[in-house]
Amino acid sequence: MPGPQKPSLEEIQQQLESAFSRHKRGDLGFAATVYRQVLAQYPDQPTALHYLGLIAQQSGNSQQALQLLQRSIEIDSSDPRAHNHLGQVYVALNDKRNAALCFERALQIEPNHVASLNNLANLTLTRDLAQAIELYRRALRLSPDAAFASYNLAQALKEYNSFDEALLLYRRTIALDPKHFQARHMLGVLLEQRGEFPEAISEYLTVQRLNPRHVSSLANAIGIRNYIPEFTLVRRAEALVTRPDASDEDRIKLHRGLGRHYERASDFERAFAHFDAANELLRGNRAPFDIRSVSKNFDRITSAFSRDFFARDLARISDSKRPVFIVGLPRSGTTLTEQILASHPRVFGTGELPDIPKMVKLLRPEYPECVALMEPDALADLANDYLRVIDRLAGPEPLRVTDKMPLNSLHLGLIARLFPEARVVYCRRDPLDIGVSCFVELFDLEHDYTTTLEDFGHYFLEHERLMAHWRAVLPIPIHEVCYEALIAEPEMTCRALIDYCGLDWHPACLDFHKTERTIQTPSRWQVRQPLYQTSIGRWRNYLPHTAALVQLLEASGFTYAKDTPERQTTASYRPLKRHDRKWATPPRSLVRPIFIVAAPRSGSTLLFETLVHSDRVCSLGGEAHWLVENHRELRPGAPGIDSNRLTAAHATEEYRDSIIQQIATRLVDQAGNSVEAESDRVFVEKTPKNALRIPFFDRIFPRSRFVFLWRDPRENISSILEAWRSGKFRTYEKVDGFEGTWSLLLPPDYRQCRARPLEEIAAFQWECTNRVILEDLEALEPGRWISLSYSDLIANPAASLKRILKFAELDIDSTLEQHLAHPLPHSRYTDTAPAADKWRMNEPEISRVLSSVENIWQRLRGLD
């Protein structure tokens, strides 16, 4: 009898496609069985060979995959997918040349094959970024709903410094795939670099909800400046960093994030332990730092670019006056200097361009000696390549374009040869502060001298030797910016810098913190603030660990630091301990402090930002949630603490001393300059959560005074609603008895809000906060508080401020009078411009809850 009839080729193809559907859903075992059954009957069936090769690749057997896919293509070379998959096998085998040929062959067969476009772009990324971007664009045009295409293009554009478009594409990726946590993380990184810190934090926390073990977002969230993370996040980081399966890379990131968190909390010993652990791991994964190799390299540089070299009759390579090279060691103030320059309307700041180091890499190993032997045309090609880069980034308008790659200081000889009309700005700072700042950051350096303070000291001294050589031989005058002088005399220092760059003075250079730019360096937070002095002497926080560096610098005879503020020596330094009674009486500025208390979104930030323009007051520079929440025992969730409410019973001597110390060491004026705690200024504080802590602060500061700002509940509740909806004011990712993230302050009895509509939560926050404030203030002796309505503040700010100053026994000064002569600007937390009837956009919701707040509203109206 004849055997069973073999299925037709059409039937075989149907079987294969049906199996491939299950293959794509992850059922590799079933699919592989079908593919093998087909090959048993038709050994040369190309589709079965192709799909089985794909399974081999997915299973990690690249050699078997290579054989199967090559055999499939030998039989039928018309399927672009097979070429694409073969290319991916070559990528896995690190054969980039054959991989590229496969992707290109797939595109010859099908020019619109999206997967091949994407894979070819991935392969092209490192050698031709512009070409890769164009390939990604083609892929996205062909597949506009593909989240991977949007994300890959965003990544490439960020690398290309096209930050605005990258930002839009990260958002597009998330819209296409809300669970795309990589896009959310990178969006957070870019937002942080742009200075949009609250939204960056929100994205990092969203990544943590989607993927609690995503280390980079966790490390970034707990380490971001001026953010007090929920203690569960810190606990998670501390747990992950000790897991035996954690990679060194993950541990490094977590140690750094935890170090920054504890430094922010002034727990410097614990912070240093984490920074040291991160650096120990780095040292274990990198070649040991060799100062002898560095010294020999610097000797080659100084010999090649000698005084005689520049004294020769050299052909002029470029007449461009656009480039301004800002150099110095990392953390020496290069980012701040660029931000000042980039605030000038005729200057464009590019950040840290890799192009000069890439030139040097291309010229090695003959560099630096080869520069003297190069033909002028070859040098002109290098110069023109660089100028094309800055032209692309800056456009034609700016007269000057800055490049702040710090270690271009090693290449100033080449720079001077290519661009004799360029400017060079050298940033200097106390080496102890630079050393500590480098130690706590992570750098990708060819010779990493930042993982120990001793290595830093040796490198610093060699770098000083090199800079002394450049000052002696370069035909370009080097302008120095001393960080400490910039902080002490900002206008004089900035004017000298602008003049050196051949520009007319512009006042925007002093308001550099208002300039919106993407900043990719660790200084992204600092340059968004007015100049402040607290970063001077940062090394003192780690004094026990800096002895070797101090000794090395002193032994070298190095004297640069003598003009910085006088240091405390190890012998005289004594850190404040919890039991010390240093503040038996508060320093002068804290004897009768002023606390602004208000329900959230009542306008307290506007009042605070106006009041601190007075030369008679000082502050912590803004909201200071850390002042209380540095003490984890006072945070919600700690024993006996279930909200932001604190009473006099919580104000122990231990907390009193700690809080006074934190304030006294961080006082600043309106410009961010440090203020002595014993000055005759009056301390003003405004942190929303402190509205629920009046008895607590009354116990700490028995002569404190309170300004109670209240607002029409219709306007206020509407603003609270919008704050919740914006996602920008999240304070607690999880609180007991409430589902979801909590925004703004956390009142007592908040659990009653569980599963209630948002308008009821907003009304509860308004009613409870104002009720608690009233009860607490009415318990004080008369004359220690006044009330002010938001409507009066807006209608007549000058009269309102004079009333507050009179209450505080202060005279209005010319600085504040000048500020009040103009309409008040929006506060830093204003999302949309105020308008009298703006609340009506939420009128239906507000109407439903207005009766629940009527009693407190009547009491507030009675205060006028």
Interval 437-482: pLDDT, tens: 888 887 666 668 888 888 899 999 999 899 889 988 899 889 998 8
Q: Distance between CA atoms of 341 and 486, rounded to whole angstroms?
A: 13
The per-residue pLDDT for 823 is 66
pLDDT band at 517 (very low <50, low <70, confident <90, very high): very low
Chain centre to alpha carbon of residue 643 = 29
- Where is 470: in which H helix or E strand? helix 453-473
Percent of the chain exceeding pLDDT 90 equals 37
745-769 average pLDDT score: 92
Structure tokens given for 118: 């994407």
Sequence letter at residue 451: T
**Distance in angstroms (rounded) separating the CA atoms of residues 846 and 715:** 9
Per residue in 670-709, pLDDT (tens digit) is: 777 778 889 999 999 998 899 999 999 999 999 999 999 9
Question: ∠ at Cα 355 (351, 356), nearest 5°?
Answer: 100
DSSP secondary structure code for residue 576 in this structure: P
User: How many degrees, rounded to 5, is the angle at CA 810 between CA 806 and CA 816?
Assistant: 100
Gap between the Cα atoms of 516 and 509, Å rounded: 13
Residue 777's identity, in one-letter code, is L
Q: Which of 427, 453, 431 is nearest to 440 (CA)?
A: 453
If DSSP codes are grouped into helix, strand and coil, which group holds residue 733?
coil
Phi, psi of 720 (to 5 degrees): -65, -40
pLDDT for 25: 82
Do the beta carbons of residue 383 and residue 313 sit within 8 Å? no
pLDDT 10s digits, 58-99: 888 888 889 988 998 899 899 999 999 999 989 888 898 999
Residue 228 reports pLDDT greater than 60: yes
Q: What is the pLDDT of residue 560?
A: 43
The answer to whether residue 664 scores a pLDDT higher than 80 is yes
Report the relative pairing of strands 594-598 and 682-685 from DSSP bridges. parallel
Give 97-136 pLDDT, tens digit per residue. 999 999 999 999 999 999 999 999 989 988 888 899 999 9
Closest C-alpha to 87, from 73, 98, 76 = 98
Instruction: Decide: 741 and 730 in contact? Cβ < 8 Å.
Output: yes
Quick check: 422 pLDDT over 60?
A: yes
How far apart, in whole angstroms, are the C-alpha atoms of residue 169 and residue 157? 9
Residue with tokens 């007449």: 319
pLDDT tens string 542-597 = 888 888 888 888 777 664 443 333 333 222 222 223 333 344 568 999 999 999 99
pLDDT on residue 834: 58
Q: Is the pLDDT of residue 331 over 60?
A: yes
pLDDT at 528: 39
In the prediction, which pLDDT does 829 show? 47
Q: Is the peptide bond before 844 cis (omega within 30 degrees of 0)?
A: no
- Determine how β-strand 742-743 pairs with β-strand 730-732: antiparallel
Query: In which band, very low, low, confident or very high, does the pLDDT at 622 lie, cut at 50, 70 and 90?
Result: confident
Question: Does residue 851 surpass a pLDDT of 70?
Answer: yes
3-state secondary structure of 411: helix
Q: Where are the alpha helices (DSSP H) in 508-546?
A: none
Q: Where are the alpha helices (DSSP H) in 196-247?
A: 197-210, 215-223, 231-240
Q: Which of 21-35, 146-160, 550-564 comes out lowest in average pLDDT? A: 550-564
Whether the per-residue pLDDT at 639 is higher than 60: the answer is: yes
What does the pLDDT look like over 438-450, one tens digit per residue?
Answer: 888 876 666 688 8
Average pLDDT, the chain: 85
Give the percent of the chain with pLDDT over 70.
Answer: 91
> How far is it, in rounded angstroms, from Cα 417 to Cα 305?
9
Please determine, for residue 412, whether its predicted confidence score (pLDDT) is greater than 90.
yes
Q: Is the pLDDT of residue 173 over 90?
A: yes
Per-residue confidence (pLDDT) for residue 824, from 0 to 100: 62
Tell me the C-alpha distance between 589 and 701, whole Å.
11
Q: Enter the pTM of the model.
A: 0.56
State the Cα–Cα distance between residues 724 and 399, nearest whole angstrom: 44
